């Protein structure tokens, strides 16, 4: 087996899914390896997980950047190649005042510029969001995807998209009275949890379930299925096409083993 794909991971929290990805690379579920882990949270345990595995780990502290911008608005410049007007026109966000939107975008763009500079030292084929709470701008998404035929940023969302985009997916599902919860693996686009869907996985909500029990079920499922979807990317089995409604969808190609050779085909 070859070395496989190089995976970068962005993470904000404990890194449960990161650990599942690292383990899946070791067992062969993913033909690849994690080459770096970046967190916006200096206290994220995911950084410790990475360093324990001798994986490069670094921090881009969004909150520190935000505070510096408040104190000295002009001290941290935007990335030199960033077209702010284009980002403003492309960014799909919930309603905000222009002043608030500008502040949020400036914070994100400066942080993303720092992130891209550090990531440049560690070439990657796929960037995986693993509980990363920051919304990525069109500038960052385009920089990662530029020159490649398929998207290169993958995310796991804690609902069955398109239901309940944004944070607290399991909480939103439970409060709405849903009988089924689940998670969605998708490629990242300019919207909020709205990119082309790779896979969706569901579980039943029982009458005595609480938020904690639903979240526990969900995280267990996420840690199982996320590596499998990354594995499909590593095997080049994800194909994008436009459906009859003009929406980009993902088809999964299937392997057919013929003696010593393998062919990839679609049903």
Q: Is 254 a catalytic residue?
A: no
Count of structural domains within the chain: 1
**With bands split at pLDDT 50, 70 and 90, how would you rate the model's confidence at 254?**
confident
pLDDT tens track for 217-250: 999 999 999 999 999 999 999 999 999 999 999 9
220 within domain boundaries:
yes
| Separation of alpha carbons 46 and 62, rounded Å | 17
pLDDT tens track for 126-163: 999 999 999 999 999 999 999 998 999 999 999 999 99
pLDDT tens track for 24-63: 999 999 999 999 999 999 999 999 999 999 999 999 999 9
| Separation of alpha carbons 141 and 186, rounded Å | 14
Tokens 């599902």, located at residue: 173
Tokens 């579980």, located at residue: 203
251 within domain boundaries:
no
pLDDT at 84: 87
3-class DSSP state of 127: strand
Task: Answer yes or no: is pLDDT of 257 > 80.
Answer: no
| Separation of alpha carbons 153 and 128, rounded Å | 6
**With bands split at pLDDT 50, 70 and 90, how would you rate the model's confidence at 195?**
very high
265 within domain boundaries:
no
Percent of the chain scoring above 90 in pLDDT = 82
Structural domain range at position 229: 5-239
pLDDT tens track for 65-105: 999 999 998 888 999 999 988 888 887 665 566 777 888 89
177 within domain boundaries:
yes
Task: Answer yes or no: is pLDDT of 262 > 50.
Answer: no
257 within domain boundaries:
no
Residue among 122, 157, 176, 186 flagged as catalytic: 157
Task: Answer yes or no: is pLDDT of 188 > 60.
Answer: yes
pLDDT at 261: 43
Residue 227 Cα distances to 38, 61, 130, 223, 231, angstroms: 18, 27, 11, 7, 6
Q: Which residues contact residue 193 at a Cβ distance below 8 angstroms, ignoring those fewer than 6 apart?
A: 155, 157, 159, 161, 162, 165, 166, 184, 186
What single string gives the DSSP state of each residue in 179-196? Answer: SEEEEEEEE--SSSS-SP
Can you give the length of the chain in residues? 267
121 within domain boundaries:
yes
pLDDT at 263: 40
CATH number at residue 178: 3.40.50.170
| Separation of alpha carbons 137 and 142, rounded Å | 9
61 within domain boundaries:
yes
**With bands split at pLDDT 50, 70 and 90, how would you rate the model's confidence at 255?**
low
68 within domain boundaries:
yes
């Amino acid at each position: 087996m070859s070395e496989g794909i190089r995976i970068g991971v962005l993470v904000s929290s404990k890194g449960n899914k990161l650990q599942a990805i690292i383990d899946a690379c070791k067992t062969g579920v993913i033909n690849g390896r994690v080459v770096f882990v970046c967190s916006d949270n200096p206290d994220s345990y995911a950084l410790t997980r990475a360093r324990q595995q001798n994986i490069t780990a670094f921090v881009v502290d969004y909150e520190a950047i935000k505070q510096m911008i408040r104190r000295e608005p002009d001290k941290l410049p935007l990335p030199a190649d960033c077209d702010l007007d284009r980002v403003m026109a492309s960014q799909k966000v919930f309603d905000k005042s222009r002043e608030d939107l500008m502040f949020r975008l400036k914070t994100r763009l400066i942080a993303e510029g720092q992130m891209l500079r550090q990531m440049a030292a560690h070439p990657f084929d796929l960037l995986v969001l693993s509980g990363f709470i920051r919304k990525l701008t069109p500038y960052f998404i385009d920089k990662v995807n530029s020159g490649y035929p398929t998207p290169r940023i993958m995310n796991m969302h804690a609902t069955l998209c398109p239901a309940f985009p944004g944070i607290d997916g399991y909480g939103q599902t439970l409060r709405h009275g849903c009988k089924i919860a689940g998670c969605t693996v998708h490629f990242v686009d300019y919207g909020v949890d709205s990119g082309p869907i790779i896979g969706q996985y569901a579980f039943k909500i029982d009458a005595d379930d609480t938020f904690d029990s639903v979240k526990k079920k969900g995280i267990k499922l996420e840690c199982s299925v996320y590596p499998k979807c990354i594995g499909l990317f590593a095997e080049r089995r994800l194909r994008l096409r436009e459906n009859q409604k003009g929406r980009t969808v993902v088809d999964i190609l299937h392997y057919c083993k013929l003696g010593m050779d393998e062919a990839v085909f679609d049903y």
